[in-house]
Structure 1
Amino acid sequence: MTSFFRKQTNDSLIDQLIYDGRIENERCIAALRQVDRKNYVLKRNKSSSYYDQPFGIGYGATISAPHMHAMTLELLKDDLNPDLKDDPISVLDVGSGSGYFTAAMGVLVSKNGSVVGIEHIPELVEFGINNIKKGNPELIEKAIIKIIEGDGRLGYQENAPYDVIHVGACAKNGIPEKLIEQLKIGGKVVIPVEKSSGQQYLEYGIKKKNGKLIISQICGVRFVPLTSKKKQLQLF
């Protein structure tokens, strides 16, 4: 695998992610080709849309580097595949931010499922909705995706339980209990977690019948903190 790269088109970005081994699943690859990253960054970053790096989107939030999104989709490829499920897939995206990863998951479950994005900064709720309307409007029009304002640490009980919960910010004290409660038995959670050492790791958890999570550490990462609205606003 290589590290950061700079591409000029969405297709060349995805091609590089494939070449680097970040993503292999054909459905996930097709989803990323449908969700053009340039529609999900700030105007000042448009010319760098296809660089493999994170960008700030305001209010202390970021859109992650493409390799992180690709790797996370690959982790969740079976859980976001309606053909492998008997019931509609329910997904929660905590810290939906730009709406990019929310849209990618929406494309994957669009045959029979839905995604709720949750943000506690109203301006980011509007930003995410507007980006999806611009880049992938059918996901909003068909009610496959909705983005709401709220504290993502508390989840969103109305659509629970979830097959998948994705968290786009780093939890300092472990995975929030409300998110674990709202996960289906057999459901998956992907979340960055900060350890006592200060190091962050991307964790992948599977909820067992006893309600506990079996957790795997995927890799070291660096994400903005999963915190209160007040503290987040102090970051910018």
Structure 2
Amino acid sequence: MEERRRLGDAGRNKSMVDQLQRYGIFSSKRVAEVMEKVDRGLFVPDDTPPYIDSPMTIGYNATISAPHMHAMCLHLLQDHLLPGMHALDVGSGTGYLTACFSLMVGPEGRAVGVEHIPELASFSISNIKKSEAASYLEKGSLSIHVGDGRQGWPEFAPYDAIHVGAAAKEIPQQLIDQLKPGGRMVIPVGEIFQDLKVIDKNLDGTISVRNETAVRYVPLTSRDAQLRGR
């Protein structure tokens, strides 16, 4: 029974990915492959429908982004998620996107998740252990840390790719500093009205910024402010 359920979930996960491709959210074969391997159903709370294209609450006034946003961010970052590269996931939540990053950069690369809610960090580790990325966690090329993501995670910087899963009032300088020349960051910026910004650090250290699309994310804030719902 458990094996039939697992295979059924894999089929629904693949259908979700196929639908996102049909809708033109992304066209990358690499993104499709990694989203098919990392079953979103393993990364949402129980009794939550994982395969519909909608954000889901995960407790602690946090959400897991809708699948189309994950697909879009993976597509935007794919050239900076090649084997051997370093990737940082700020506000890693349930661990889904960090797991995707780890498969894309491979065991010779490094995928780092930073989450300031300890319970979510623990939840994400248990989710990853059930996923295709479990071996990367065991080997240490994937790691989840409890901390203020606005400060990044300097230990493994510089990063080729940085994803921020909550909306900043302004782009944190610490994250720009930890972005490798030639690297890219995807971050929602704004308060009531937000834009998903694509930030490229040029080889000379200068920054290029463009808006990708209008979005709506929970705010990138302190742990206490988040728990108060502010």
* TM-score where L is the length of structure 2: 0.92
Matching residue of 2:116: 120
Q: Per-residue deviation at 1:105?
A: 1.0
Q: Per-residue deviation at 1:99?
A: 0.4
Is 1:30–2:24 an aligned residue pair?
no
Q: Per-residue deviation at 1:111?
A: 4.9
Q: Per-residue deviation at 1:143?
A: 1.8
Return the alpha-carbon distance in structure 1 between the equivalents of residues 99 and 120 of structure 2: 15
Matching residue of 1:5: none
Instruction: State how 1:158-169 maps to structure 2 within 5 Å.
Output: 158-169=155-166
Q: 1:186 aligns with which of 175, 182, 185?
A: 182
Instruction: State how 1:1-236 maps to structure 2 within 5 Å.
Output: 9-45=12-48, 48-82=49-83, 88-136=84-132, 137-172=134-169, 174-194=170-190, 198-235=192-229
Matching residue of 1:4: none
* TM-score where L is the length of structure 1: 0.89
Return the alpha-carbon distance in structure 2 between the equivalents of residues 106 and 218 of structure 1: 24
Return the alpha-carbon distance in structure 2 between the equivalents of residues 154 and 212 of structure 1: 20
Q: Which is further off, 180-189 or 204-213?
A: 204-213
User: What amino acid is the match of 2:28?
Assistant: N
Return the alpha-carbon distance in structure 1 between the equivalents of residues 52 and 148 of structure 2: 30
Return the alpha-carbon distance in structure 1 between the equivalents of residues 115 and 173 of structure 2: 18
Alignment deviations for residues 75-97 of structure 1 (CA, whole Å, 9 cap, x no partner): 11111122xxxxx3111110000
Q: Per-residue deviation at 1:209?
A: 3.9
Q: Check whether the contact 2:90–2:165 (CA below 8 A) recurs between aligned residues.
A: yes
Q: Per-residue deviation at 1:208?
A: 2.1
Return the alpha-carbon distance in structure 2 between the equivalents of residues 212 and 229 of structure 1: 31
What is the number of residues matched between the two proteins?
219
User: What amino acid is the match of 2:90?
Assistant: V
Instruction: Give 5+ residue unaligned stretches, structure 1.
Output: 1-7, 83-87
Matching residue of 1:3: none
Q: Check whether the contact 1:132–1:139 (CA below 8 A) recurs between aligned residues.
A: no
SS across alignment from 1:116: strand
Distance 1:141 1:111, change over 3 A: closer
Return the alpha-carbon distance in structure 1 between the equivalents of residues 208 and 114 of structure 2: 25
Distance 1:209 1:110, change over 3 A: closer
SS across alignment from 2:167: coil
Provide the aligned C-alpha RMSD in A.
1.4
Identical aligned residues as a percent: 48
User: What amino acid is the match of 1:35?
Assistant: V
Q: Per-residue deviation at 1:210?
A: 4.4
User: What amino acid is the match of 2:62?
Assistant: A
